[in-house]
Amino acid sequence: MLLPWSKVRDWFCFACGECCRWFFVSLRPDEAIRISSAYGRDKIEIVHGRPILRRIGDSCVFLYGNLCLLGDEKPIACKLWPIVFTREGGADSYFNGYYIYFDERCPGVKRGRPSDRLYMTIMEAIHLKEGQKIKQNYTTARVGPNLLLPAVASSTLGLTEEMSSLQNLEFPSYSSSRSKIYTRNMKR
């Protein structure tokens, strides 16, 4: 299911929107505060003490058709998937100080010898992860401009004590899918 980057020829996001339906998206405290403040406290939920993006029906609240309304403001978990950083891994997953895999559940992952574009994609993912970059050129679909809609911020309630306390939370390293919180933004 997790393929070392060295066995991936390329990856393209086709904007199928499936990952926005499959997973509960865990947020970093600063992301929870930012999204809550900008779009409303009702856009996030606290589950087992951790903030996640609210879901409506079978998908993320920010999924519009197959597109993300947050654009460049989406959480780092969303920006990185299906690229997975692990604490340990095989030599075939090592890249510039990281162990990097691709989750083959994403239909855009293609096996083979790494292409030049794949290297660009991985470098961008590292820069996103390290906070050196916000905009995505390779690690998302090129489907148009930021589709941020004011309507999303329909019920901005401002920060609450609960949200302020999120800044002090520490997050464990674990992963799961579908029925649990999927921690795409955390080291495994």
Residues at the interface with ligand SF4 (CB under 6 A): 20, 25, 53, 60, 62-63, 68, 70, 74-75, 78
Degrees (nearest 5) of the Cα angle 44, 25, 188?
Answer: 135
Of 39 and 85, which has the nearer Cβ to ligand SF4?
Answer: 39
To ligand SF4, the closest distance from the beta carbon of 116 in angstroms equals 26
To ligand SF4, the closest distance from the beta carbon of 74 in angstroms equals 4
To ligand SF4, the closest distance from the beta carbon of 26 in angstroms equals 11
- Of 1, 2, 183, 12, the closest CA to residue 92 belongs to 2
To ligand SF4, the closest distance from the beta carbon of 101 in angstroms equals 19
Residue pair 126/96 in contact (Cβ under 8 Å)? The answer is yes
Of 62 and 101, which has the nearer Cβ to ligand SF4?
Answer: 62
Of 17 and 89, which has the nearer Cβ to ligand SF4?
Answer: 17
Q: How far is CA 68 from the centre of its chain?
A: 11
Of 65 and 112, which has the nearer Cβ to ligand SF4?
Answer: 65
Please list the alpha-helical segments (H only) found in 106-160.
116-129
Let me know if 160 is exposed, middle or buried by CB neighbors in 10 A (0-12, 13-18, 19+).
exposed
